[in-house]
């Protein structure tokens, strides 16, 4: 059989998606279903002194309320699904259920809250000032698990007005070498302060939940990135036995890190359903999604980088104030520092960070967490140095980018493979960098051309999960997948690893996914670009296990040694004598008859408890392949995308048009080319949105969100990007994983964002604007030399 | 006013059934007898004027006549999703900003979240469920094109995009990639799979022209 | 009262089929009624539960309010004509391409398929404080949140502030003013016509309204006279995103020129005040002047004299100046 890996096959769920039959969480209906609505905090920080719901509860059709007193509360800084101390405007205080949403909404309006306003902080830097407000009554930073109030007493804040980040006590710090010594060897030093805005994830599907209980079991229809892991997360949060939780999540309308294993708000419907004894639908609106839907942490960052005249980086000193939001959940500053070290391999490095809590919605990983912020800040800074060094910008990156044998991070971790140089080489040709770089500064009327490069690494795979498949008497290979279906196609594509081992065609494969009652194996969470790597390995392992069992059965049945048998096209047959064999259907029946390990009666000892449970439920249904990924790995797995862009900046309007974009990936073996292209280009566009348009705006006096709508938050539209973009992959297999494939979800964002940020700076003659997003007002102010719309270190503006 | 051709939609407080309850009634157990809703001025004002109460509408959806009890302030998206069971029409923002709820009304693409169901009386509504030929199960050229090109990622936007593509293909069989981008610019894809979406649109044009 | 969004409160719905019936209805219900055209702006207010009319009068069934009629090079455009119909209409494209272009710049195809010319002209401001339901002057309160010292006002006005600093979001309004259009307004007793320029009101005149329409008025049609058919025009809308977005600043200009001199000019800017601003002084300055960069520069500089930017929108001064320059520079 031809291998499935590397070919374009439409995902088996595509027909459902294009006919409207695919059911997302809010598409389910259950008998007796009632509706819940949320009452959100009108204040950024307050204490609930009283809730008067008498009039609401008296309304016909109202079934009850659920308050913070009804839901598990967590130690600081943990986030419960409902709170008596809201820490951001829009935080859910209570939910109300009624027979319909209209009644619920009308009833909520009758509730009277008695709120005691508390001091609030929106800007991390303001919170660090002596006497500044703390987001929590307990403090503004987390030190060794304890909330603490950190103020930078004795630190001179006067530099803020000049746009330089003051630097005081931090909560995380690591260094390799001696940065002072490194700077002493530098011929060129750049030192910049930049602001990277916070942005809401805004997946297109809001995080609605339908929940009900049957015979003590919770059934939850959720919008979640990771199916199997959501079960554990929900069981943990609600203090349930995992066996009593059924998660149905066949489709997820995007998550981008905001729904990795669910979200606290998804606990409301299960708890409410339990309380009132009815199935509860909590339909989250876009307005609510803006608040409870997570966001990328912003940075106020100072970066000082020293270069020798040959371009080699001698020292890098990074200082990051991270906006930690109301409940933490980011921590991107740590990743940012590690990625900077990986990418530029500075001879000496120091990374300092302080995540500061603010009274703004919770942060979470957002596709390329830390990398995106760091790259849109550092890559233009590289270009600034290249100008001073009179070096080609691609060359400067080549001088510093890691090669085989490189290590990175505080523990000097090695890599399984690194082919960023090949990606740069390929991109140089595909994009024609040598020609296009001469377009820099070219004028066409009021428009100036800029070109830019963004190089972006990101972690791309984990190990140690389980694969599970059953070949049934229908002859089909049923591959069970516990990862989620959020559009990356890895839930389908990684199954090819098992199919290829068994040498079957795609039409002989059935994928079982999206519902934990179908028997799903323990799986990686669908985040951090893990699943392509983790589950090609797990499925390869399950495939090998099944193949071994098939060969055994053939040998037992037809004679000879197991090794003398091969598999292809749904048959097992003797090598050199293809007529002597059995169909998979026959093998499956034989496996059931034999029992033991063949049909799952006995299971490997090293697989996870969830896999055991699932496999046990599938016992006796056919030949079972089940195995843990025990393939070795000698380092960390990272993928790369190199982005190249051409932009035109209109000097009279500040408008930026992205004219061209090329993205080239180093992600090992390609599983599904067309889907890879979609990841590279789609991810790059998301990065462009981060760099160019997406915003997050707060009124400083009232602590209230202003950019609450999609049109005011501005994710990129189809008219904001080139109508034709190109992509490629170097396709060098990673040697540390059997299939050779590495993940790709994260790295395109940094590449797209940085390439555009660099191209805009290039069009501006190398000037750095010092913040994202690079909107027309910011650019025009820079060009006009007029007053900038924002003070340099201002956050949540736009 | 009696002679005036005014269609007044009366909110009858006694027989009122909210649309969610309509669904529940259709779906199963559901609640109880009708309950009195809050009496707003809207109720009083509506009952004060004579006219025909036309809560019960006949809608033409996907070529079928459907009798539905529709509240005056009910949006088309809600009627489709919660009364007619047509959940292919998605709600991404419910504010006419994302396009996930796009349907065709007399062949033109509209945001179903941002029109009242009463505004489509007498007009033909087509949803994603109505594209496939019900007899032959043949896909619409746009659906076939998406299948051919492996379109969409999370696909929550897909039904809306497909409806906008359908409006384009059926009104302008021959179009450029740029025209396609403009025609699809009222639909948001957060996965930003725009390149592949445009490939699908171009392929849909080819298929539609071949079929014509 | 606790706040909740996204469920439309109940209202009674009327769908009259004639203008007379509609006028009776608005007359009977007065301020308790809400007139619905395409409904996009309205739907937002309803879903936010901020505007809660008792009755809604949907004009969509009134055929006589739809369509474009050409008479001797002039156009009469029914207020309920959709923006798509306007954009695609042959006579509009032939006589007043700038109007078609303006319509094309509105929001998205779906919105243009439903949104009407009358609605686009009469829509409310998008000030995000006001639209959040905050009790500002425009909402009947006694403060302006957007002009407070720390307020976020990047998209607010640089001209014509009077307690309120909101801007007019209409894309078609500046084009129609530049083309010297007339708005036809009816109430139960009479039909009156106002210059497009006078249709819009700033906060100094009435802080709660964007137009001269009173509760019992209907905008029934827009008359575009033949005088500017075939004139040189310039239209540009600058916005953050290529789709959906409202304008930061928009310029619309109509010019007659010959022999290298500008003979007549009408120049309008939107997005800078609560009403589209016609630049009378700039028009006077450019009429009779030679076409070219020098006139354009002077026009741009003159246009922004007296502009008073807020804390976060000084860029609008440069943007407005540059767009006016471009408009005048385009004259050949």
| Per-residue confidence band for B25, with pLDDT thresholds at 50, 70 and 90 | very low
ω before C315 within 30° of 0 (cis)?
Answer: no
CB within 8 Å of A445: residues ≥ 6 apart: none
CB-CB under 8 Å, C16 with B111: no
CA atoms of C168 and C161, how far apart (whole Å): 12
Does residue C101 carry a pLDDT above 90?
Answer: yes
Taking every pair of Cα atoms in chain B, the longest distance, rounded to a whole number of angstroms, is 58
The arithmetic mean of pLDDT across residues C166-190, rounded, is 98
Chain B: partners with 3+ C-beta pairs within 8 Å: A, C
Chain A hits for B147, CB-CB cut-off 8 Å, are 10, 14-15, 18
The answer to whether residue A109 neighbours chain B at the CB level (below 8 Å) is: no
A-contacting residues in C 42-101 (Cβ below 8 Å): 49
Does residue B46 carry a pLDDT above 90?
Answer: no
Q: Is C52 exposed, middle or buried (0-12, 13-18, 19+ CB in 10 A)?
A: middle
The answer to whether residue C322 neighbours chain A at the CB level (below 8 Å) is: yes
| Residue B104 in tokens | 């065709």
Q: What is the pLDDT of residues B134-179, one digit of tens each?
A: 999 999 999 999 999 999 999 999 999 999 999 999 999 899 999 9
CB-CB under 8 Å, B188 with A715: yes
- With tokens 């890559």, the residue in question is A379
CA atoms of A552 and A561, how far apart (whole Å): 8
Distances A572 to A4, A48, A478, A575, A578 between C-alpha atoms, Å: 19, 68, 17, 9, 8
pLDDT of residue A1: 57
Q: What is the pLDDT of residues B180-207, one digit of tens each?
A: 999 999 999 999 999 999 999 999 999 9
- Rounded to two decimals, the ipTM of the complex is 0.97
CB-CB under 8 Å, A204 with B20: no
CA atoms of B113 and C10, how far apart (whole Å): 16
Question: Measuring CA to CA, which residue among C74, B21, B43 is closest to residue A60?
Answer: B21
Does residue B127 carry a pLDDT above 90?
Answer: yes
Question: Measuring CA to CA, which residue among A676, A609, A643 is closest to residue A750?
Answer: A643
Chain B hits for C63, CB-CB cut-off 8 Å, are none
- Mutation for C interface: A105, A283, A286, A652, most C CBs within 10 A: A652
Chain B hits for C21, CB-CB cut-off 8 Å, are 1, 4-6
CB-CB under 8 Å, B44 with C54: yes
Chain A hits for C7, CB-CB cut-off 8 Å, are 37, 101-102, 104-106
Q: What is the pLDDT of residues A40-80, one digit of tens each?
A: 999 999 999 999 999 999 999 999 999 999 999 999 999 99
| Residue A327 in tokens | 């409940």
Chain B hits for C107, CB-CB cut-off 8 Å, are 186
Contact A619, A602 (CB under 8 A): no
pLDDT of residue B12: 31
pLDDT of residue B124: 98
Q: Indicate the DSSP class of residue A297.
A: P
SS (H, E, C) chain B: CCCCCEEEECCCCCCCCCHHHHHHHHHCCCCCCCCCCCCCHHHHHHHHCCCEECCEEEEEECCEEEEEECCCCCEHHHHHHHHCCCCCCCCCCCCCCCCCCEEEECCEEEEHHHCEHHHHCCCEEECHHHCCCCCCCCCCHHHHHHHHHCCCCCCCCHHHHHHHHHHHHHHCCCCCHHHHHHHCCCCCCCCCCHHHHHHHHHHHHHHHHHHC
∠ CA A9-A15-A21, nearest 5°, is: 150
CB-CB under 8 Å, C12 with B9: yes
Strands C218-224 and C232-238: unpaired
The arithmetic mean of pLDDT across residues B44-65, rounded, is 66
The arithmetic mean of pLDDT across residues C121-141, rounded, is 97
Does residue B47 carry a pLDDT above 60?
Answer: no
- Mean pLDDT, contiguous 10-residue spans, chain A (798 residues): 89 96 97 97 98 98 98 95 98 98 96 98 97 97 95 94 94 97 98 96 98 97 96 95 96 97 97 98 97 97 98 98 93 96 98 98 97 96 97 98 97 97 98 98 97 98 97 98 96 98 97 96 95 98 98 97 97 95 98 98 97 97 98 97 98 98 98 98 98 96 96 97 97 97 98 98 94 95 86 91
Strand order in the sheet with B6-9: B52-53, B6-9, C12-16, C55-58, C33-36
Question: Measuring CA to CA, which residue among B49, B92, B101 is closest to residue B72?
Answer: B49
pLDDT of residue A218: 98
Contact A529, A747 (CB under 8 A): yes
Pick from C5, C150, C242: CB nearest A719: C242
Pick from B88, B147, B193: CB nearest A678: B193
Q: What is the pLDDT of residues A216-246, one digit of tens each?
A: 999 999 999 999 999 999 999 999 999 999 9
Q: What is the pLDDT of residues A621-648, one digit of tens each?
A: 999 999 999 999 999 999 999 999 999 9
CA atoms of A452 and A436, how far apart (whole Å): 10
């Amino acid at each position: 059989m031809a291998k499935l890996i590397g070919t374009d096959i439409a995902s088996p769920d595509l027909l459902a998606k294009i006919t409207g039959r695919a059911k997302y969480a809010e598409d389910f209906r259950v008998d007796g279903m009632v509706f819940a609505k949320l009452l959100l905090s009108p204040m950024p920080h307050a204490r609930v002194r009283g809730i008067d719901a008498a009039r609401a509860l008296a309304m016909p059709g109202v079934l009850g309320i659920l308050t913070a007193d009804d839901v598990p509360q967590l130690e600081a800084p943990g986030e419960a699904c409902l709170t008596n101390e809201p820490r951001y405007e829009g935080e859910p205080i209570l939910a109300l259920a009624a027979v319909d949403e209209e009644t619920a909404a009308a009833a909520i309006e009758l509730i009277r809250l008695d709120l005691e306003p508390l001091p609030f902080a929106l800007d991390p830097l303001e919170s660090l000032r002596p006497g500044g407000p703390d987001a929590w009554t307990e403090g503004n930073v987390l030190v060794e698990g304890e909330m603490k109030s950190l103020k930078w007493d004795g630190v001179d804040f006067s530099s803020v007005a000049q746009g330089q980040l003051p630097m005081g006590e931090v909560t995380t710090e690591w260094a390799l070498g001696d940065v002072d010594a490194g700077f002493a060897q530098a011929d060129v030093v750049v030192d910049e302060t930049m602001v990277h805005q916070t942005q809401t994830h805004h997946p297109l599907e809001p995080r609605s939940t339908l929940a009900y209980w049957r015979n003590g079991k919770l059934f939850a229809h959720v919008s979640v990135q990771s199916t199997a892991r959501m079960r554990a997360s929900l069981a943990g949060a609600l203090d349930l036995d995992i066996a009593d939780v059924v998660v149905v999540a066949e489709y997820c309308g995007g998550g981008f890190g905001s729904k990795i294993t669910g979200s606290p708000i998804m606990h409301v419907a299960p708890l409410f359903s339990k309380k009132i004894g009815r199935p509860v639908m909590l339909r989250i609106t876009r307005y609510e999604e803006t608040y409870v839907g997570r966001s990328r942490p912003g940075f106020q960052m100072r970066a000082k980088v020293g270069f020798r005249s040959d371009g080699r980086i001698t020292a890098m000193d990074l200082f990051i104030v991270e906006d930690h939001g109301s409940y933490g959940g980011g921590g991107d500053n740590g990743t940012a520092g590690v990625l900077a070290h990986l990418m530029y391999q500075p001879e000496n490095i120091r990374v300092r960070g302080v995540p500061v809590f603010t009274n703004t919605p919770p942060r979470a990983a957002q596709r390329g967490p830390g990398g995106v912020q760091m790259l849109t800040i550092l890559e233009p800074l590289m270009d600034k140095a290249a100008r001073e060094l009179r070096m080609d910008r691609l060359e400067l990156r080549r001088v510093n980018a890691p090669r085989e044998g490189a290590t990175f991070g505080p523990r000097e971790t090695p890599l399984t493979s690194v082919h960023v140089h090949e990606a740069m080489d390929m991109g140089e040709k595909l994009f024609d960098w040598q020609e296009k770089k001469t377009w820099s500064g070219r004028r066409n009327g009021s428009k100036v051309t800029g070109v830019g490069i963004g190089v972006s690494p990101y972690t791309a795979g984990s190990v140690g999960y389980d694969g599970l498949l059953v070949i049934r008497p229908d002859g089909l290979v049923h591959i069970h997948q516990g990862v989620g279906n959020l559009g990356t196609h890895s839930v389908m594509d990684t199954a090819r690893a098992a199919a290829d081992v068994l040498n079957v065609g795609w039409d002989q494969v059935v994928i079982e996914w999206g519902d934990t009652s179908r028997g799903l194996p323990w799986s990686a969470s669908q985040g951090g670009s893990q699943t392509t790597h983790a589950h090609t390995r797990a499925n390869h392992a399950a495939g090998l296990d099944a193949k071994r069992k098939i060969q055994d059965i053939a040998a037992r049945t037809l004679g000879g040694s197991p090794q003398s048998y091969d598999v292809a096209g749904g048959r097992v047959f003797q090598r050199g004598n293809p007529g002597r064999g059995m169909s998979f259907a026959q093998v499956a029946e034989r496996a059931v008859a034999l029992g033991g390990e063949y049909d799952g009666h006995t299971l490997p000892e090293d697989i996870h408890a969830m896999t055991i449970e699932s496999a046990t439920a599938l016992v006796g249904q056919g030949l079972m392949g089940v195995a843990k990924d025990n393939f070795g790995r000698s380092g960390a797995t990272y993928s790369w995308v190199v982005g190249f862009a051409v932009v035109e900046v209109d000097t009279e309007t500040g408008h930026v048009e992205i004219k061209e974009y090329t993205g080239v990936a180093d992600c090992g073996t390609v599983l599904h080319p067309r889907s890879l292209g979609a990841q590279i280009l789609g991810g790059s566009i998301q990065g462009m949105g981060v760099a160019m348009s997406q915003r997050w705006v707060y009124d400083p006096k009232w602590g209230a969100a202003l950019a609450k709508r999609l049109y005011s938050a501005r994710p990129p539209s189809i008219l904001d990007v080139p109508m034709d973009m190109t992509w490629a992959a170097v396709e060098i297999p990673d040697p540390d994983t059997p299939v050779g494939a590495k993940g790709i979800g994260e790295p395109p964002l940094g590449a797209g964002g940085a390439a555009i940020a660099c191209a805009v700076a290039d069009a501006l003659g190398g000037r750095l604007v010092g913040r994202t997003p690079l909107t027309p007002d910011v650019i025009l102010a820079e060009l006009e030399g007029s007053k900038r719309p924002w003070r340099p270190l201002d956050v949540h503006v736009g | 006013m009696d002679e005036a051709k005014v269609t007044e939609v009366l909110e009858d407080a006694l027989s009122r059934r909210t649309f969610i309850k309509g669904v529940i009634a259709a779906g199963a157990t559901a609640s109880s007898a009708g309950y009195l809703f809050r009496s707003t001025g809207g109720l009083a004002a509506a009952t004060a004027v004579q006219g025909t109460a036309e809560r019960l509408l006949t809608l033409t959806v996907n070529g079928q006549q459907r009798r539905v009890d529709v509240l005056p302030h009910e949006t088309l998206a809600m009627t489709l999703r919660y009364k007619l069971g047509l959940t292919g029409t998605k709600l991404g923002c419910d504010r006419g900003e994302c396009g996930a709820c796009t349907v065709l009304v007399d062949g033109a693409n509209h945001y179903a979240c941002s029109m009242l169901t009463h505004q489509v009386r007498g007009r033909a509504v087509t949803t994603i469920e109505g594209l496939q030929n019900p007899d032959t199960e043949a896909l619409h050229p746009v659906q076939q094109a998406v299948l051919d090109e492996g379109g969409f990622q999370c696909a929550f936007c897909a039904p809306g995009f497909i409806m906008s593509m359908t409006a384009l293909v059926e009104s302008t069989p021959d179009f450029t990639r740029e025209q396609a981008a403009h025609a699809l610019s009222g639909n948001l894809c957060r996965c930003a799979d725009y390149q592949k979406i445009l490939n699908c649109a171009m392929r849909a044009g080819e298929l539609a022209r071949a079929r014509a | 009262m606790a706040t909740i969004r996204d469920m439309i409160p109940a209202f009674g719905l009327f769908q009259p089929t004639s203008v007379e019936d509609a006028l009776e209805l608005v007359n009977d219900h007065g301020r308790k009624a809400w007139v619905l055209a395409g409904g996009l702006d309205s739907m937002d207010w309803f879903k936010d539960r901020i505007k809660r009319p008792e009755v809604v009068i949907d004009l969509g069934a009134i055929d006589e309010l739809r369509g474009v009629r050409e008479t001797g090079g002039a156009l009469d455009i029914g207020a309920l004509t959709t923006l798509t119909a306007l954009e695609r209409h042959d006579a509009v494209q032939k006589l007043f391409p700038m109007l078609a272009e303006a319509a094309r710049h509105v929001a998205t195809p779906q919105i243009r398929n439903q949104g009407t010319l009358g609605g686009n002209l009469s829509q409310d401001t998008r000030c995000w404080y006001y639209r959040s339901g905050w009790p500002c002057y425009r909402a009947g309160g006694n403060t302006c949140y957007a002009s407070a010292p720390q307020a976020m006002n990047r998209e607010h006005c640089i001209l014509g502030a009077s307690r309120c600093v909101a801007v007019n979001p209409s894309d078609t309004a500046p084009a129609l003013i530049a083309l010297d259009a007339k708005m036809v307004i009816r109430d139960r007793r009479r039909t009156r016509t106002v210059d497009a320029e006078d249709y819009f009101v700033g906060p100094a005149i009435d802080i709660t309204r964007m137009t001269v329409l009173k509760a019992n008025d209907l905008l029934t049609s827009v008359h575009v006279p033949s005088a500017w058919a075939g004139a040189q025009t310039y239209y540009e809308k600058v916005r953050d995103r290529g789709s959906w977005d409202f304008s930061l600043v928009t310029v619309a200009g109509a010019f007659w020129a010959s022999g290298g001199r500008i003979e007549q000019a009408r120049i309008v800017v939107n997005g800078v005040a609560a009403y589209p601003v016609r630049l009378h002084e700039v028009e006077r300055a450019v009429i009779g002047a030679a076409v070219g960069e020098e006139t354009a520069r002077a026009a741009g500089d003159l246009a922004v004299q007296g502009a008073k930017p807020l804390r976060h929108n000084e860029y609008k001064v440069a943007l407005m100046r540059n767009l006016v320059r471009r408009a005048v520079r385009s004259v050949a």
